[in-house]
Amino acid sequence: MITKEYLGASSIAGPLMVVEGVEGIGYEELVEIKSKDRFTLGKVLEVSGDKAVVQLFESPQGLDPQSLRIHFTGKSLRLGVSLEMLGRVLDGLGRPRDGGAPPLAEEFIDINGRPINPFSRDYPNEFIETGISSIDGLNVLVRGQKLPVFSGSGMPHMRIAAQIVRQAKVLKSGESFAVIFAGMGITFEEANFLIKDFEASGAMERTTVFLNLANEPVIERIAIPRVALTLAEYLAFTHDYHVLVILADMTNYCEALREVSAARKEIPGRRGYPGYMYTDLSTIYERAGRIHGKTGSITQIPILTMPEDDRTHPIPDLTGYITEGQIFLSRALHRKGIYPPMDVLPSLSRLMTKGIGPGKTREDHSDLSNQLFSAYARGREARELAIILGEGALLDVDKKFLRFADVFENRFLRQGEYESRSVIETLEKGWQILSLLPVEELKRVRKEFITKYLDKYFSQAGDVQEDSIL
């Protein structure tokens, strides 16, 4: 293939560079830009007549448009991938950040990936035990799922992510696991905390970190999730790894996207984010999954901070429309000192029904979690009423639900950062707390399960109430 080199760009504005007088340039092809002392990359965003609009992947600072040597490579941006990348800390384009030598590539792969044919997908249904009750009991994570954490600034989402990485296991042996962490615009402390935690638990040797810190150029965040997922696909579908990909913070990614869109003067969608953000995000999130006939899998936990804790903000909103559920963190619970401060009611795992039940967790799991959800919802309603009218105004049965909600938050949700509960422990805890409620109110559980799992706690119901922390 003939590649083309031009001298000088006609303009650089923000993350965009315009090159004129070009010929035979392909849409989305990779561009190498050389200045006196730098070498940067970009991609073609639009070609029109003899003009190409190029989006830079790195900061344009210090680039003089006239003196640039611009090389159109005729290829799209590829990542050199290899098993050697495990244990390394790399930048947004896969270059070392840890002082080590560049990893030798075994293969070069287009970072944009290609959509998995829906006919080839295998349905995710293998339970992952995270050891965290609010996840394993109520919002189960399964292999091949994309389950984001919707958080807010100052909340412990990174600590939860680290706990999941430390504790997650599947009830099978002889499989290879890997973790890929893509940090976009996160602080040095956050990145450092995670890397230290991975090192301490021994996870680092099967982990690759791709990093762009908060003080580094925003546009370098655009390629990171795709670079990370390209390695993930290679590990999962070429080398049979079960890969857990953590993307944090997707809010910073979306902001970079908005910056490029604004520079192109595109008509904005809601709150200035581009109208194609849904499609763009889906080409990241849909790269999770399992494929028929392949052993490996890609499970994604994107983390995002909701600007002003606003759930209807386009970033959490569009994410929730693509991912297979979401875990909300609650500032109110966090203030009460409850860790993990999972906001149970709006949280959801859409793949839960397929990942639980006899042979996977236990037969009563589905009924029990439905019951816990609806009882907690009723308890919260009672709490709201009690705030306005005083507890005295509640019916006796509603007082019981209120009490249930308190105990549920303190005994079921609250958990130590280094405490790992087996799923059976979690389920038993759930039944134990349900014993606070009159049995005729437990409409969501089958009768036989009440006899089998609940009756034994009835005599002890008093105990639950006494030693609970209220």
Ligand X SMILES: Nc1ncnc2c1ncn2[C@@H]1O[C@H](COP(=O)(O)OP(=O)(O)OP(=O)(O)O)[C@@H](O)[C@H]1O
Which residue from 35, 2, 37 is spatially nearest to 17, judged by alpha carbons?
35
Strand partners, 43: 30, 55
Site for other proteins (CB under 8 A): which residue of 42, 94, 103, 124? Answer: 124
Maximum pairwise Cα distance, the chain = 85
Using CA of residue 92, residue 98, residue 99, residue 104, what is the dihedral sign?
negative
- Residues 271-290 within binding reach of other proteins (CB under 8 A): 275-276, 278-279, 282-283, 286-287, 289
CA distance linking residue 190 with residue 184, whole number of Å = 11
Q: How far is the CB of 10 from other proteins (least distance, A)?
A: 17
Binding flag, residue 267, ligand X (CB under 6 A) = yes
Nearer to ligand ADP among residue 168 and residue 348 (C-beta): 348
CA distance linking residue 83 with residue 239, whole number of Å = 9
Site for ligand X (CB under 6 A): which residue of 65, 74, 80, 269? Answer: 269
CA distance linking residue 303 with residue 190, whole number of Å = 13
Stretch of 66-74, 265-273, 299-307, 423-431 lying at the interface with ligand X (CB under 6 A): 265-273
Q: How many CA atoms lie within 13 A of 116 on its CB side?
A: 22
Interface with ligand ADP: number of residues (CB under 6 A) = 2
CA distance linking residue 230 with residue 151, whole number of Å = 26
| 188 interacts with, out of ligand X, other proteins, ligand ADP, none, CB within 5 to 8 A per kind | none
Nearer to ligand ADP among residue 348 and residue 375 (C-beta): 348
Q: How far is the CB of 348 from ligand ADP (least distance, A)?
A: 6
Binding flag, residue 444, ligand ADP (CB under 6 A) = no
Site for ligand X (CB under 6 A): which residue of 268, 307, 320, 357? Answer: 268
Stretch of 163-171, 186-194, 331-339, 344-352 lying at the interface with other proteins (CB under 8 A): 344-352
Q: How far is the CB of 351 from ligand ADP (least distance, A)?
A: 7
Stretch of 8-16, 32-40, 107-115, 164-172 lying at the interface with other proteins (CB under 8 A): 107-115
Site map (CB under 6 A) of ligand ADP, residues 341-380, x = contact = -------x-x------------------------------
30 C-beta neighbours (distance < 10 Å), count: 21
Question: Is residue 355 within 8 Å of residue 142, measured between CB atoms?
Answer: yes
72 C-beta neighbours (distance < 10 Å), count: 24
Strand partners, 141: 128
Tokens of 129: 């035990």
Judged by the rule CB under 6 A, the positions of this chain that interact with ligand ADP are 348, 350
